[in-house]
A = this chain, B = another copy of it.
């Protein structure tokens, strides 16, 4: 349960971090679409840690498609794909077999299932997001043909905040290893990362995503408002802790007269405080939202753990950890957004 996302465009994923593979099945992708496989590889590459700021990992991920395609075109049938896991030394994790790390999913998986794959985080590892990126990259290329673009960038790392989050330079962000749209802020972020790395600690941050070119009318009130399904999607990403649409938490401080977005004669609005939707339905303006991520809890410092008998013990960290994982979360946010928007797009077809 809980391993499927979407109503008409549906992704079902599988895979533990140290199992044979991760992957998924995409159902409901329209037939006859010519797939750009290179774009999928690019998205997967953007998800990988960069050597500069994060622990390097092994060779690139390679996605293998098992079904749903013929001569590079979608058949309308389910698209299954598999990405093999690299060969880790799982024995490294033997010490963690009966140990629960703080603020990890160790104890909670144990409480839920009474059994758990303790190696590299198992199913709770961010490794699973590979499958989201493959499906999202497919969804995104379909949407691009419809004139929709989905951009995301890092607008905060730790206490360094991009000053202007309204005008985001996505070209600059794409070129930046930190996916930061502002060079000044990026410089400060680099310094903060270096300083934090020296202390063996980690950093969280905030991402802002903008969906442009989306026509008015997408989103299913009442419970499946566009903002609600986007929130669901984003908060399902590992380490996501906050979500806001448009002015978000700031809107709570505004007065009603200041919050309203006045109309233009062509039904666009002069401002976009509501982030591109009203009553859960897109209004044709940019869809804007932000997601907050907590820092990775595994640092270079020993973790105060508890074992299944209730003994408190300090465990030396093993395996990789990123100083700041937020930049490489960009394609994951884009992917989840693409899946939500494509699903809404397909649902809206039933109204035509």
Contacts and interface: CB of A to CB of B under 8 A. Distances in A.
A242 interface: yes
A205 B254 CA distance: 9
A88 interface: no
B103 A16 contact: no
Interface stretch (A17-25, A171-179, A182-190): A17-25
A103 B261 contact: yes
Contact of A15 (B80, B232, B347): B80
Interface stretch (A39-47, A52-60, A144-152, A288-296): A288-296
A256 B201 contact: yes
A63 interface: no
Contacts of A5: 223
A201 B244 CA distance: 23
B100 A267 contact: yes
Nearest to A324: B256
Nearest to A225: B236
Interface residues of A, number: 154
A293 to B, nearest CB: 6
Nearest to A312: B265
B67 A19 contact: yes
A32 interface: yes
A278 to B, nearest CB: 5
A111 interface: yes
Interface string A254-284: 1111011111111101000111011111111
A141 B137 CA distance: 38
A77 B236 contact: no
Nearest to A265: B310
Contact of A260 (B206, B236, B245, B303): B303
B263 A222 contact: no
A255 B202 contact: yes
Contacts of A297: 256, 259-260
Interface in A90-109: 100, 102-109
